Structure 1
Amino acid sequence: MKLFSYSSCSTCRRAIKWLKNNDITFELIDILNSPPSKEMLISASELYGDRKYLLNTSGVVYRSIGSNVVKEMTDSELFEKLVREPRLIKRPFLYKPNKFFLIGFKEEKWAEKLL
């Protein structure tokens, strides 16, 4: 299981603490240095049913681009942008083989899916 995280993100730190407290083994990956692949992002978008769930809409990068510009992007443009600008990706971003994803941290949801 891979956890894409950003060290300055308090939500990521809460997710890491939760995983450790529940003895769940994971590989911690700095999302800025090694973002999820385009294929991984596409699979997560398909699983969640909408690409909007991938977006860190409260972040500076998203606000600087503007929601209208992001909405007008094609899927291909958006996924390329997410890989180039990983701060746009909602985090933490958890991936398990067989196309299992958890995006963002909600303790109840993570408990339901991982415990």
Structure 2
Amino acid sequence: MIFIYYPKCTTCINAKKWLDENGLPYTERHIKEKNPTAAEIKKWHKKSGLPLKKFFNTSGLVYRGLNLKEKLPNMSEEEMYDLLASDGMLVKRPLLITETSVLIGFKPKDWEEALLN
């Protein structure tokens, strides 16, 4: 599993703690130091089955600063992939990429269902 996170994010800290407490092995990836590429985001989006908008950190300063709430509805998927790849702070986190799923954000119940059952 790949755990993509931002170390100063409280939700990411809680997710990492949960993974450790449940003895689940993972590889860490700092989202600012190694931002996901457009190709990776596209692959994860397809694998997740979720709307692409779910990959955006809608509460982040960069998202708000770029006025993306207004702009996203008029963008193509390719433009959104490129935009997400341009700045790790635009990507919702944490992201957990497994062989079979992509988990966005941290909801312990969802992670438990996906990883422990």
What TM-score do the two structures reach when normalised by structure 2? 0.90
1:113 aligns with 2:114: yes
1:97 aligns with 2:99: yes
The unaligned stretches of length 5 or more in structure 1 are none
Q: Which residue pairs with 1:69 in the alignment?
A: 71
Deviation at 1:108, TM superposition (A): 0.2
Deviation at 1:2, TM superposition (A): 0.5
The unaligned stretches of length 5 or more in structure 2 are none
Q: Which residue pairs with 1:60 in the alignment?
A: 61
| CA displacement 1:40-94 (0-9 Å, x = unmatched) | 2113323233111101000001101111112222111111111111101000011
1:41 aligns with 2:41: yes
Question: What fraction of aligned residue pairs are identical, expressed as a percent?
Answer: 32
- 3-state SS in 2 of match to 1:87: helix
Tell me the amino acid that sits aligned with residue 48 of structure 1: G
Mapped contact 1:45–1:53 kept (Cα < 8 A): no
Structure 1 residue runs of 4+, over 6 Å off?
none
Aligned residues: 114
Deviation at 1:30, TM superposition (A): 0.3
| Structure-2 separation of matches of 1:48 and 1:93 | 14
| Structure-1 separation of matches of 2:17 and 2:87 | 26
Mapped contact 1:53–1:90 kept (Cα < 8 A): yes
| Structure-1 separation of matches of 2:39 and 2:99 | 13
What TM-score do the two structures reach when normalised by structure 1? 0.92
Tell me the amino acid that sits aligned with residue 78 of structure 1: M
Tell me the amino acid that sits aligned with residue 53 of structure 1: K
Q: Tell me the C-alpha RMSD between the 2 structures.
A: 1.3
Q: 2:87 aligns with which of 74, 85, 93?
A: 85
